[in-house]
Structure formats: C-alpha cells, structure tokens
Amino acid sequence: MDLFPAIDIRDGRCVRLLRGDYDAETAFGDPVEVAQSFVEAGAERLHVVDLDAARSGVRSNAATVEAMVAAVDVPIELGGGVRSVDDVAQLIDLGVERVVMGTAALEKPELLRTAAEEFPFQVVLGLDYQREASGELFVAVHGWTVKSSKSVGQLLEEFDAVPLAAVLATAISQDGTLEGPDLLGLAYLAEISEHGVLASGGVGSLQDLEDLAGLGVSHADNAMAGVIVGRALLEGLFTIEEAKQRCR
C-alpha cells in the first residue's frame, strides 16, 4: 500500500478542512515548504488538492502548483477543479504525474474516458462519498457541496474498462477528523472496483494504516493500492518513515 502525504491548497496556503467544510479550516503554512519537508522526511510521492479550483473551477493556485512541481523530485498526484481534457493535458505538461477527475467524471463521463484514453494510467477517478442511512454510498461533487444521484457502485461500473491509474475514495464524514478511516465502505469499494483503490479520510494513527493495509489481503487483487494522509502528518502524530513501514 503506497503512502501519499497530502497537501491541500487554499488561497496559496497549505490547509486542512474538517469534513470538507470551508469554514472549518486549519492552516499549516506554505505548500511548497510543506512539500519539501515531506520529501526530506522520506515521502516518495505527494497528493495535492487545489481546494479553490474544486469549488469554483478556477485554477487560482496554478503558480503554487508549478512551484511545488519544480521544488520536489517525486511524483505528484493532483486534483481539484479538473473539468476538461485540456486541464489534464496542461497539468501533465506542467510535470504532474497523475491527475484526479471527480465532478467532471460524474457530469460528463465521456470526458473521463477521453482523458484516460489519451493519458492511459495517468488519470485517477475521484469519488468523494457520503454514507446514507441505508448504508449505500453516494458521491458528492463541486467541492463536496452537491450530492449526486448516482451511487458509488453505479459510477464504478461505468468505468470498469477505462484505463485509469486508480480510484481515489474519500469518506467525507471522516475527512480531517483523525477518527479513523471508513473501513467498511473502503472494503466494499476495493471489492467491487476493477481498479486499485486509494483510501482517503480519517487516518489518525499508525493502527489505522495497519487496518487499511489489511483490507483484502486474502484477495490480493482487492487490497488497498494506497492511502492519503494529511492532518496526521502535518500535526506530527507519526513520521513518514513510520507510516511507510506500516503501509508495507
């Protein structure tokens, strides 16, 4: 299971939101400096989210992203406001290794298919989900402000044959809480997905990483491909080297 230290950017700053709430923000300084510190501590890849673009579609943090790509020598996966094949192409030209598409994949599925065919295994399907009282998982879009009518299962089925790099599954109820990942939902997603699943939301301890790494170990094809960790690393609850060891 690969470790992706996370850097969320808002107004040019590294921040973390609580359950996607833009009014519940904690700031952690300059994103470029945070990226460099993660890499110096042993990070082998980074996951970056442009929160402003996710909400508005306007890439106002483009200069910050460009500076981050230039400052570190590890692959960067980036999401937030990627709404067109041109967006994907521009980010890859900039040096981003993998690009996450969420809202666009729901509203215009052909965009995701076209982008993935043009850039095979460099496009990630982003699924930010909420659990209903029935237990069913539904996707949220536009920076988590709008609930889709499609369930996670319905959406995944549409993209089974698309050459995606991975499926990024974020449990909105857990994001930024440090209260542990949604193991039940993630196990279900890993079981039904034809693509590797990246877990996001709630990791607050090394035990959480062990629990995630243990999902699907009896069925290697359905194991977790990676995990996104943000607040726990930013607050120093454990080190990147400790996290990498548990992920292995």
CB-based burial, 116-138: b 16+ in 10 Å, e otherwise: beebeebbbbbbbbbbeeeeebb
Query: What per-residue confidence (pLDDT) applies to 216?
Result: 65
**Catalytic residue chosen out of the listed positions 8, 50, 175, 208:** 8
Task: Indicate the number of domains in the chain.
Answer: 1
Query: What per-residue confidence (pLDDT) applies to 96?
Result: 96
Query: What per-residue confidence (pLDDT) applies to 54?
Result: 80
Secondary structure of the chain in HEC code, one letter for each residue: CEEEEEEEEECCEEEEEECCEEEEEEECCCHHHHHHHHHHCCCCCEEEEEHHHHHHCCCCCHHHHHHHHHHCCCCEEEECCCCCHHHHHHHHHHCCCEEEECHHHHHCHHHHHHHHHHCCCCEEEEEEEEECCCCCEEEEECCCCEEEEEEHHHHHHHCCCCCCCEEEEEECCCCCCCCCCCHHHHHHHHHHCCCCEEEECCCCCHHHHHHHHCCCCCCHHHCEEEEEECHHHHCCCCCHHHHHHHHC
Query: What per-residue confidence (pLDDT) applies to 146?
Result: 67
Full residue range of the structural domain in which residue 73 is found: 2-247
Q: Domain of 206: which CATH number?
A: 3.20.20.70
Please answer whether residues 141 and 106 qualify as being in contact, where contact means their C-beta atoms are separated by less than 8 angstroms: yes
Q: Are strands 46-50 and 224-229 parallel, antiparallel or unpaired?
A: unpaired
Query: What per-residue confidence (pLDDT) applies to 221?
Result: 56
Q: 146 pairs with which residues across the strands?
A: 141
- 8 carries an active-site annotation: yes
Query: What per-residue confidence (pLDDT) applies to 143?
Result: 59
**Catalytic residue chosen out of the listed positions 50, 52, 87, 128:** 128
Q: Compute the distance between CA of residue 88 and CA of residue 120 in angstroms, rounded to an integer.
A: 12
Query: What per-residue confidence (pLDDT) applies to 60?
Result: 83
pLDDT in tens, the chain (248 residues): 999 999 999 999 999 877 667 777 788 999 999 999 999 999 999 999 999 888 877 788 889 999 999 999 999 999 998 999 999 999 999 999 999 998 888 888 999 999 999 999 999 999 888 877 777 788 877 656 667 677 788 889 989 999 999 999 998 888 888 999 999 989 889 888 999 999 999 999 999 999 999 886 554 456 789 999 999 999 999 999 999 999 98
Rounded to 5 degrees, φ, ψ at 216 are: 75, 15
Q: 237 pairs with which residues across the strands?
A: none
- Return the closest-CA partner of residue 198 out of 2, 52, 31, 46: 2
Q: Are strands 21-27 and 13-18 parallel, antiparallel or unpaired?
A: antiparallel
